[in-house]
Structure 1
Amino acid sequence: MDWIVISSFLFFTCSAAFLSWYKARSKKQITLNSFFLADRNLGFLLVGCGLLFTNINTSTIIGENELVYTHNMTVMAWGITSVFAMLLVSEFIMPMYIRLGISTTPDFLTARYGHNVGKIVSIIFLAGYVINLLPSVLYSGALGLNGLFNFSGVLKTDYGTTILILIWAIGTVGCVFTILGGLKATTIWDTFLGMGLFAVGLVLPVFGLKYLGHGSIQHGLSVLLTNQKEHFNSIGSATDPIPFGTLFTGMLLVNLYYWGTEQYIVQQALASKDLKTCQKGIAVACLGKLISPIFLNIPGLIAVPIFLHMHNTAEVFPMLDRLVSPPVISGFIAAIIFGAALTTFNAGLNSSSTLFILNVYKPWLEKRLQPATEKKLIRTAKRFEIMVCLIAVMVAPLIIFVKHGFYTYVQIVNGFFNVPIFTIMFIGLVTKRVPALAAKVGLTFFIVSYGLTQLVFDLHVHFLHILAILFVLTCAIMFVIGKFYPMPIPYNHKTNNLVSLEPWKNRHLYAGILILLMILMFVVFSPLVLAK
């Protein structure tokens, strides 16, 4: 192990942690609002960075580069098409959330369908975090660090044992950081991570091209553009991980769910000081998503002519970094990988405790007429975060046995939790008389049907198309139930805004520019230009 790399890693990681603590230390986490929502006082840069870098984690860095290396640029669609979904959320969903003054997305479902539905959805969210989100972040973070530092060789342990040790190390650090700092420290950490991640995005491709061109970046670029050009194609066929048609079916639904319903994402936006700040922050995150292929996909492209054969393709990003980067830069990139694991893990832990405390534990105390003081709830939230962390670190090592690619596995498992919740949310938004019974039946039908298509019957249909089909069927079922068993009193949104509802005046202009750039990205990475 290169001790320059280790020293660089420790320096950048400790510096970011200290600065995050230093910036957040003046605000003690003594209320639920400060611990969970940073007192709803974040500026647009903090909101934008929080949204972007809670989304971009080690799962996406490791997983997307792997799919580009093994297939092509079709995986780019997950990030690029999310821009359209984020703009829709900014225009229609966030104003409603802020107007209602909610703290969690199940709060809306509670208001719309009743406490039972809100509690059920909170439990589904928690199950998704414990089973999929947190373990996948821990696993990918461990995988990235092992690829960068070769801990297996240093510790003289087998691959599985090394990954297990690293999972526990990342989980422990992340849990301590979240408990001590709350959402404020996590969001500040995201901002520092963002600066570092974009720096990595610029330098790693440069070093990769220089290595490919034997010292000449121009020659390296020429080699990359003239060899295996099929990897540049982002317009997927039926045999690719992301067929192009799925962009208009299940992927759109998944992105709308993610940016408009996923608690650990929405919580970043709800911490904005007002609606205008929230919409500006989302626009910043959109711009970041358009730039993100530089480090999410391009390293995978560069690795294609460098690594002709790899035993474990999930290690393509850390292996490329270790091969082409100077020791100091390699340590810096390792710090970014570690930070990317922590940022989503921390946000997931914070959101898990938010959901549990506000939607499960506090109502339970109130129902039994027991005191629910802020001090007691925060203490319970921290204990719950420790419990969730322990479960996640025990589940994470099992991901080593998955097939069909790590990132594809993560997205398929997400299907059990994401679009079913978005479906009942959507019906709740567009109707006023569909009852709680319809939401419960809809959730059950969607989750069971999707499980059958993924675990029992092979329909030879892409899982994103299946999600879209089930979305339509579930909506139809809920409409039918609403027709025959409507709510006696129609639901009406109640205004309870805690911050200003004045929207950002220039949002439509910037939205048009962002959508144009999104389309241009697909044109560039297509048979019309680079994949010709």
Structure 2
Amino acid sequence: MSRSIVRCVLAPDPVPQETTAAGQVAVFIAITLLIGIATWLKVRGPATSRDRTGKDVFLAGGTLTWLYIAGSITLTNLSTEQLVGMNGNQMLLLAWWELAGFLGLMILGFVFVPIYYRNNCTTVTELLERRYKGGSIRTVISAIFLLGNLLIYLPAALYSGSLFLKSMFGVDWPLLWFAIPMAVIAALYTISGGLKAVAVMDTFSGIGVLAIALLVVVLALYAVDFDLFSGVPAERVSMIGSNQSPIPFHTLFTGMLFIQIFYWSTNQNITQKAMTAPSVREAQKGVLAAAAVRVVVIPAIVVIPGVVGYKLFGPMGDASYGRVVAHVLPGWMSGAFAALMAAAVIAHTSAILNSSVALYALDFHDKFVRKVENFWKLAAWASAIFTISSIALVPAFESAKSIINLLQELNGLSSMPILSAFIAGLLFVNVDARAAVIGLLYGVAAYAVHSFILYKPGMLFPEQTFYQHIGLPWLHYIDVMVAVLASSVLVALAANRLIFGNRARYVGPGARSRR
């Protein structure tokens, strides 16, 4: 790399000059239009070629190949919450979320994908209805997923994307100025092309995002002479987390795996993408490709720029990644990356929006309002309403200290209780759906008590958490997730026997050999 190029890349002033800003905007608009046109050319077809079924709208008609499945799974996960939030911690330790995700994807591909295809599912909640005696568990879990998407994940995606763009361009505009256009475009993709358009856009923008994100890693390391460790506190470059860190090391062997199983294998936003292939084998190829990207590429891009940001600018929290990108990339390339990141936010938002509409249409409207005759029309109305509510909630996230840590902790309210319903339903038969609901509600309440009372200093004891008071200072929310999961399953099975008079029978691994 020549010295002149290096001086251009490592310009000390992160705020572009007027001419550079014009170039950024021009590149931004050009790439945004290019991705939109490429997506339209791939998914276009006469209106008469689209049927009105839920499978056409929500599963792309079962026509996607492994490449688009891998791209969609990757970008549904890797949006600005990860790039902004994980780099915002400015610690290498956060890479464990991505490394552990490899195991979660393996379980999705080889355990859950065959089950979903065998049961011809469009939503993950359909599987639960078939496994339990009664449909109440499907309705309750669908409501939890839907509320989580509307109240947390959609506005969080728009917030983190807006924060990134605001930080990178160095402007003092309100976040809603960025959030509204991205939300509207995301809704248009969902309304006009369904999940197929979302998956195609995911793949096109994902290739660009990963390429430039890797370039940011290289240039960020170059900016500190490839010396990531000197002058940085040891806890920020260690992969062995202390008990006070976001990921204490022992939690890798307690709750981490179960969090990954929930996220990759039972979460509608992710698993829906794996159900879009024409066959189980094609779906598994897509999942395997996503797993390879997860372990080879993603860890570096979600932590190294954050640590470099700490070394260059000090603690900056969630604003760190945008500042680093603006610092190391030349102006025109910053505009390109901004366009690709905006496309990633739009695709990520569209994916969550599409899964939200699927849950509402199939689990609520079709069951409790009236039979859906045209899923495309219903998807349009629901997408518009959900988009407006998501935009309205974006300002609520501005007070978050760390967007990724906030999301992980909020996940605990629903993730382990929901996973308990899948475990009880898949490993046992003759379980009443109402018993599973009791176990699930217990799990939500138990984790809420942990998060808002026992884990908060000063709630019960001055300047101490309850766990510190009883001699368990190491107990972390990831540890508590395991206890919530196990106890939720036990509560469900106990309620099934004691309240509903059913004797559950274990049918999981090893059941046949014990007969």
TM range (shorter): 0.7 to 0.9
2:438 maps to 441
Identity %: 26
Is the aligned partner of 1:130 residue 2:128? no
Deviation by residue 1:445-493 (Cα, 9 ceiling, x = unmatched)? 0111111211233344321111111111111112222334354898999
CA-CA distance at 1:229 after TM superposition? 6.8
Residue identity in the other structure for 2:477: F
Residue identity in the other structure for 1:247: L
CA-CA distance at 1:308 after TM superposition? 2.8
2:61 maps to 39
Is the aligned partner of 1:203 residue 2:198? no
Residue identity in the other structure for 1:412: E
1:167 maps to 179
CA contact 1:434–1:481 (8 Å) conserved in 2: no
Residue identity in the other structure for 2:206: G
CA-CA distance at 1:169 after TM superposition? 2.2
Which TM-score applies when normalising by structure 1?
0.84
Within 5 Å, give how 1:32-181 maps onto structure 2. 32-67=54-89, 69=90, 72-113=91-132, 114-152=134-172, 162-181=174-193
Which TM-score applies when normalising by structure 2?
0.86
2:493 maps to 479
Distance in 2 between residues matched to 1:117 and 1:329, nearest whole Å: 49
1:316 maps to 320
- Which of 249, 254, 277 is the aligned partner of 2:259? 254
- Which of 290, 294, 298 is the aligned partner of 2:304? 298
Distance in 1 between residues matched to 2:228 and 2:371, nearest whole Å: 65
CA contact 1:433–1:486 (8 Å) conserved in 2: no
2:386 maps to 388
Distance in 2 between residues matched to 1:275 and 1:360, nearest whole Å: 28
CA contact 2:202–2:348 (8 Å) conserved in 1: no
Distance in 2 between residues matched to 1:202 and 1:447, nearest whole Å: 39
Residue identity in the other structure for 1:322: A
Distance in 1 between residues matched to 2:447 and 2:294, nearest whole Å: 29
- Secondary structure of 1:224's partner? coil
Residue identity in the other structure for 2:439: G
CA contact 1:124–1:417 (8 Å) conserved in 2: yes
Worse-matched range after superposition: 139-148 or 241-250 = 241-250
Distance in 2 between residues matched to 1:272 and 1:299, nearest whole Å: 35
Within 5 Å, give how 1:260-271 maps onto structure 2. 260-271=265-276
Residue identity in the other structure for 1:385: S
CA contact 1:445–1:474 (8 Å) conserved in 2: yes
Is the aligned partner of 1:407 residue 2:411? no
Gaps of 5+ in 1: 213-219, 494-532
Gaps of 5+ in 2: 1-17, 456-465, 468-474, 509-515
CA-CA distance at 1:44 after TM superposition? 0.8
Residue identity in the other structure for 1:302: V
- Secondary structure of 2:59's partner? helix
Distance in 2 between residues matched to 1:456 and 1:168, nearest whole Å: 36
Residue identity in the other structure for 1:166: F
CA contact 2:428–2:507 (8 Å) conserved in 1: no
Residue identity in the other structure for 2:304: I
Within 5 Å, give how 1:503-522 maps onto structure 2. none
Residue identity in the other structure for 2:303: N
Kindly tell me the number of residue pairs found equivalent between the two proteins.
Answer: 465
CA-CA distance at 1:394 after TM superposition? 1.0
CA contact 1:58–1:144 (8 Å) conserved in 2: yes
Deviation by residue 1:211-264 (Cα, 9 ceiling, x = unmatched)? 33xxxxxxx11x324442723212211111111121222221111011111111
Distance in 2 between residues matched to 1:122 and 1:395, nearest whole Å: 21
CA-CA distance at 1:317 after TM superposition? 0.7
- Secondary structure of 2:454's partner? coil
- Which of 445, 450, 454 is the aligned partner of 1:457? 454
1:419 maps to 416
Give 4+ residue runs of structure 1 displaced > 4 Å after superposition: 486-493
CA-CA distance at 1:6 after TM superposition? 1.1
Distance in 1 between residues matched to 2:135 and 2:360, nearest whole Å: 14
2:368 maps to 364
Deviation by residue 1:177-224 (Cα, 9 ceiling, x = unmatched)? 211121111101111122102211331123223333xxxxxxx11x32
Residue identity in the other structure for 1:167: A
Distance in 2 between residues matched to 1:371 and 1:46, nearest whole Å: 31
CA contact 2:361–2:372 (8 Å) conserved in 1: no
Deviation by residue 1:48-106 (Cα, 9 ceiling, x = unmatched)? 11111111111001001011x2xx21111111101112112211111111001011011
Residue identity in the other structure for 1:30: D
Deviation by residue 1:494-520 (Cα, 9 ceiling, x = unmatched)? xxxxxxxxxxxxxxxxxxxxxxxxxxx
Distance in 2 between residues matched to 1:336 and 1:463, nearest whole Å: 34
- Which of 185, 203, 213 is the aligned partner of 1:191? 203
Deviation by residue 1:88-126 (Cα, 9 ceiling, x = unmatched)? 221111111100101101101111222221111111110
